[in-house]
């Protein structure tokens, strides 16, 4: 499941991007200043960071330079800016940004660029994942078991995708919460257990998801 950090000081724009990406099935966190954005980018594991260039407290250029220089940060950076000159484009990419979009922009174009960057952020994986009769079409956001399509919520689909991706290996609760939810999730809320319970019910018999005590789940 796609996890995105938006670092944007314009609340209206940040809200539009957040709602659009969440509707597309992504887990999204938001920071409204550079200091908070840099902190979140170094604490959580993101696939893509949408980074505004003109930010309060810490400039977007400084964030980009700091993140690009770290080997432990795998996120791809998509820079947003009001500037439109070639020099600005070259300058942003020289700082370590992976892509660059000028405001105003088409949301459809931005979404396509985010997905393209996400594919580069992760190790190469087939667009269709399968394990023990369960098939997840990552691009189309469709899952089936033994050829029968499953009616899943976005969170159920996200959990199932991570479990199928692991191909029978245990997946920790920490990993599932990091990849499927955003930073606002209370880790003690029990919401993951509720989602897994619903997922098990929809998968039907024989039971497919096994609890790994004090760790997580596996298929």
Q: Please, what are the domains in the chain?
A: 3-121 (3.40.50.2300), 128-218 (1.10.10.10)
- The average pLDDT across 74-95 equals 72
The backbone torsions φ and ψ at residue 206, rounded to the nearest 5 degrees and listed phi first, read -70, 155
pLDDT confidence of residue 1: 76
Q: What tokens appear for 209 in the block?
A: 């998801």
- The string of pLDDT tens digits covering residues 132-189 is 999 999 878 899 999 999 999 989 999 999 999 999 999 999 889 888 887 667 666 7
pLDDT tops 70 at residue 87: no
pLDDT tops 70 at residue 18: yes
> 27 vs 49, which has greater pLDDT?
49
Can you list the positions of beta strands (E) in the chain? 3-7, 27-31, 48-52, 76-81, 99-102, 128-131, 134-137, 142-145, 148-149, 171-172, 210-212, 216-218
176 burial via Cβ count (<10 Å: 0-12, 13-18, 19+): buried
pLDDT confidence of residue 45: 87
Nearest to 3 by CA among 22, 27, 19: 27
Can you list the positions of beta strands (E) in 33-96? 48-52, 76-81
Contact predicate 217/208, CB 8 Å = no
pLDDT confidence of residue 138: 84
Mode of pairing for the β-strands spanning 134-137 and 210-212:
unpaired
pLDDT confidence of residue 140: 83
- How does residue 76 score in pLDDT terms, banded at 50, 70 and 90? very high
pLDDT tops 70 at residue 88: no
- The string of pLDDT tens digits covering residues 106-134 is 888 898 899 888 877 665 556 789 999 99
Which of 39-43, 81-85, 111-115, 185-189 comes out lowest in average pLDDT? 81-85
pLDDT confidence of residue 73: 86
- pTM of the predicted model as reported, rounded to 2 decimal places: 0.68
- The average pLDDT across 19-31 equals 90
pLDDT confidence of residue 122: 65
- When the pLDDT of each residue in the chain is averaged and rounded to a whole number, the result is 88
pLDDT tops 60 at residue 4: yes
């Amino acid at each position: 499941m796609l996890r995105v950090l938006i670092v944007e000081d314009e609340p209206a724009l940040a809200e539009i991007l957040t709602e659009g990406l969440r509707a597309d099935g992504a887990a999204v966190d938001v920071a409204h200043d550079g200091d908070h954005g840099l902190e979140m980018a170094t604490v959580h594991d993101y696939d893509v960071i949408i980074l505004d260039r003109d930010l309060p407290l810490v400039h977007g250029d400084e964030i980009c330079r700091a993140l690009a220089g770290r080997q432990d940060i795998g996120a791809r950076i998509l820079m947003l800016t009001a500037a439109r000159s070639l020099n600005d484009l070259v300058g942003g990419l020289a700082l370590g940004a992976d892509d660059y979009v000028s405001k105003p922009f088409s949301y459809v174009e931005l979404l396509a660029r985010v997905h393209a960057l996400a594919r580069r952020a992760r190790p190469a994986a087939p667009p269709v994942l399968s394990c023990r009769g369960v098939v997840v079409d990552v691009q189309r956001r469709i899952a089936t078991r033994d050829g029968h399509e499953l009616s899943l919520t976005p969170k159920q689909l996200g959990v199932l995708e991570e479990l199928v991706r692991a191909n029978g290996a245990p997946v920790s609760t920490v990993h599932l919460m990091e990849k499927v939810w955003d930073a606002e999730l209370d880790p003690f809320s029990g919401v993951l257990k509720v989602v897994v319970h619903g997922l098990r019910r929809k998968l039907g018999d024989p039971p497919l998801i096994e609890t790994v005590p004090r760790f997580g789940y596996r298929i």
